[in-house]
Structure 1
C-alpha cells in the first residue's frame, strides 16, 4: 500500500459525516419478476462475473471471518440472515441490536459482502458468502452521521473481534475517528473505506484518507473510472461502483451506485484473503490486494485507479512477496474485465513456486554484507583522515 501524506485541509473539522451511496434501495422491478426478485437478482449482479467470483469461491468463501459494517444497520434479509450477527445500535433509537435498517444503505452493503442467496442461482450473492457480518447502527438514515458515533462503532468492531471493517461513510478529519482507526489497525484489522462520491466529496474523504486504510474508488461496467468516484493520491484500489444490485429492506432488492458499493466489494475480497491466509497480518492482506490488482490507466499507481482493479483469484493464489520486496506487476486487462493471464497475478520465474521470495532474502543478505564491508572501510578512513572530534563552543 502506498505511503499516504496528508496536508492540512482548510476549514473546520467536520463533525458530521455522510453516507457515500446515492442508493435506490427497494427500487421496483420490471414486470415479470417474482414478488421479491429472488429469481433474477443473481443475473443482475454483473460485478460477480466481472471479478470472477465463482472461481474465487472455489478457493475461499470467507469462512471464519467477521466483517463489521458501521452504517444504518442491517435488515435481516432472507439472502443474508444466516450470516448476520446481532451487532449493536448506538443511535438515539438504540435498542442494543443492529439488525434493523429503516434506510436500506447498510443492508445493501451487507448483501455485497456476505449474502448467501437461496440456492445456487437464486437470491443475491456476496463476495464472501460464508463470512459473518456485524451490523453497527451508527446512523438513522443516509443523509448524515455523527463522526463521534462512527468512531464508537469502530471501537465496538474492534472489541467484537472483527477481522475486516467496511466503512462507506465520508467525513472530515476528526481526532476521535483518527484514534479509532489507529486502534483498529493496531488490532490487526483490515480497514476498508470509500474514497467519496462526486460532487459531494473532493478530495478523498476520511477515514479513507488516513494512512493504513485501504481507500477504494469505483469503476463502471467497462472497467473505466466511474464518473461518481472521487480521485486522489490516497486511492489504493478500485472496484465496481455503477448499477450494483444487492439486498434491501423488507426482503426486497436494490440498484445503486457509488464508492459505498465498491468499498463493500473490496471488504468482501479482504474477507476471502483472511479466510485463505488466517495468519497473514492485516497490512500484508492489504498488500496482497494491491499487489495483485489489475493495472489500469497509466502504468503503476495513479490517482484514478490506485494500483488497479481488485482481482479476487489472483489475491487468493498469486505468489506475492512480502512488502518491501519487488514483485512483477499483473497484466493489464482488456476493457471487458480481468483476463485469465491477469488473474494469475505476479509470478516468479519458473512457475511461481516461491523463488521470488527466496531471491528477495538472498538479495537482502548480499546488501547487508556489502553494507558491512563499506562500514568497516568508512570507519578506517575516518580514523586515518578525519580530524578529531571537538567540543562545540
Structure 2
C-alpha cells in the first residue's frame, strides 16, 4: 500500500468515526435540511406571523402514528371508517396519513431537527378512510369522514386522495363548504390522472397541483382548468410510522402543504369566511407559467408570507371559494392521487456504509495503478 493510499484510508476512517459518533443528531438535522420546501415557501418568516393556533385540520387518510416524536400532542382522537377500522384514527399501518400529518402540523424536535410542518400549532383530526398509500379512496368512507370532520369542528379538510365520481362525496363536500370549511384536495398524479381528479374538480374545492424544486410544473401532477394553486410536490420529506422519515413525490404532499398554509391563514384571520380564505390564497399566489391562471399552476405557487400579510381586496360576488368552476368534461376519473416513489431517509449508518464501499473501491483501484 502506497503512502498516498494510507493517508487516504486514515482520512476515510476519521470521517467514519465522526459519523458513527454523531449518527442520531446528524440524522435529525438531515431531515430538516432535506425539507427544501420550507425555505422555498418562506415558512420560517410565515411562522413568525402565524403557526396555525386553534385550527383543527381534518385528515381523511390512513390514520396517523401518534408515537412519532414530531406528532406528539398534535393529533386529536379521531375515528376509523370501514370494516376493521374500529380505532380512533391514531394508528397508521400504511404511512400515508402520518406523512400528511407531519407536513401539515409536525412539531419538529427539541434540538431543532426533525420534520417541521407548515402549521406546527394546528391540530390534526385523523379519520381512517384509506387502506393503502396509493391515494385511491373509497367514496363512501371518504364521504363519511368529511361529514364527521365537519361535525367535530374541523375548519380545514385535507383530502390527499382521489376517488371515482360519487354523489355521496359531492354532497359531503357541499355540506362542508356550507359549514364554512375550506376543503383542500389534490388534483392527482400522472400517468393515472391526466386531468384534475375527483373531488378536487368540484366547485369550491381548493384544487392543488404540484411544482418542482425550480418552481416549474412537476411532471407528476395532473393539470386542468379546475387547478387553483400549486405547491412543492417533488422529493418532499416527512414523517412515517415507527419513528421513520421518507421522501416522496406527488400531489398528496402538495395538498398537505397547502392545507397547512390554510391553517396559518385561518389562525391569523379568524373572521374570514372559507371563501375569503381561498380568495386570499389564490390572490397572493406567485404567478408561474402563462400569465394569469393556467392549467399547470392555477393562480400560481402558494405564497404563505403574502397570504398572511398582503392587503387583499375582498372577493367579488363572482370570486371567492368558487373562483374556478368545475368542468363536467373531467368526470369519470378514478385513480391514485397520493404520494409516490417513497424513499426512506438514511441515517448516519447508511452514509457510513456508502463511504466505506466507495473507500474499498478506491483502494483497490489505486492498488492496481
**Same fold judged by TM-score > 0.5?**
yes
State the shift of 1:36 in Å: 9.8
| Conserved? CA contact 1:91–1:139, under 8 Å | no
2:193 is matched with which residue: 201, 219, 223?
Answer: 201
Contact between 1:294 and 1:307, CA under 8 Å: does it hold in 2?
A: yes
Alignment TM-score, normalising by the size of structure 1 = 0.73
The 8 Å contact of residues 162 and 197 in structure 2, kept in 1 or not, is answered as yes
Residue 92 of structure 1, CA deviation: 1.3
Q: Which residue of 2 aligns with 1:137?
A: 128
How far apart, in 1, do the equivalents of 2:218 and 2:197 lie?
Answer: 17
Residue 215, structure 1, aligned to residue 214, structure 2: no
- Asked if the contact 1:33/1:39 (under 8 Å) is kept, the reply is no
1:119 corresponds, among 104, 110, 133, to 110
Q: Which structure 1 residue ranges, 5 or more long, are not aligned?
A: 1-29, 328-393
- The 2-side partners of 1:195 and 1:262 are apart by 10
**Do residues 94 (structure 1) and 85 (structure 2) align?**
yes
Give, in whole Å, the separation in 1 of the partners of 2:218 and 2:31: 22
Separation in 2 of the partners of 1:278 and 1:38? 34
Taking the TM superposition and a 5 Å limit, the aligned residue runs for 1:100-179 are 100-119=91-110, 121-143=112-134, 144-179=136-171
Q: What is the count of residue pairs matched by the alignment?
A: 298
Structure 2 CA distance for partners of 1:325 and 1:210, relative to 1, 3 Å: closer
Question: How many angstroms does 1:222 deviate by?
Answer: 0.2
Higher helix share: 2
Q: Secondary structure at the match of 1:55?
A: helix
After TM superposition, give the deviation of residue 81 of structure 1 in Å. 1.7
Q: Separation in 1 of the partners of 2:318 and 2:207? A: 22
The question of whether the paired residues in 2 share the 8 Å contact of 1:80 and 1:115 is answered with yes
Distance in 2 of aligned mates of 1:37 and 1:48: 18
Aligned counterpart for 2:291 among listed residues 275, 281, 299: 299
Partner of 1:116: helix, strand, or coil?
Answer: coil
Q: Which has the higher contact order (CA 8 A, sep 6+)?
A: 2
Q: Which residue of 2 aligns with 1:360?
A: none
- The answer to whether the 8 A contact 1:158-1:184 is kept is yes
Instruction: Trace 1:313-328 onto structure 2 (pairs within 5 A).
Output: 313-324=305-316
Question: For each residue in 1:98-147, what CA deviation from the matched residue of structure 2 results, as whole angstroms up to 9, or x when unmatched?
Answer: 01111100000000000001126211000000000011000222244311
- State whether residues 184 and 191 of structure 1, in contact with CA within 8 Å, keep that contact through their aligned partners in structure 2: yes
Q: Give the Cα–Cα distance (whole angstroms) in 2 for the partners of residues 306 and 177 of structure 1.
A: 23
What residue ranges of structure 2 are gaps of 5+ in the alignment?
1-18, 320-369
For 1:5-24, what aligned pairs fall within 5 Å after superposition? none
CA distance in 2, matches of 1:191, 1:37: 35
Q: Distance in 2 between matches of 1:152 and 1:325?
A: 31
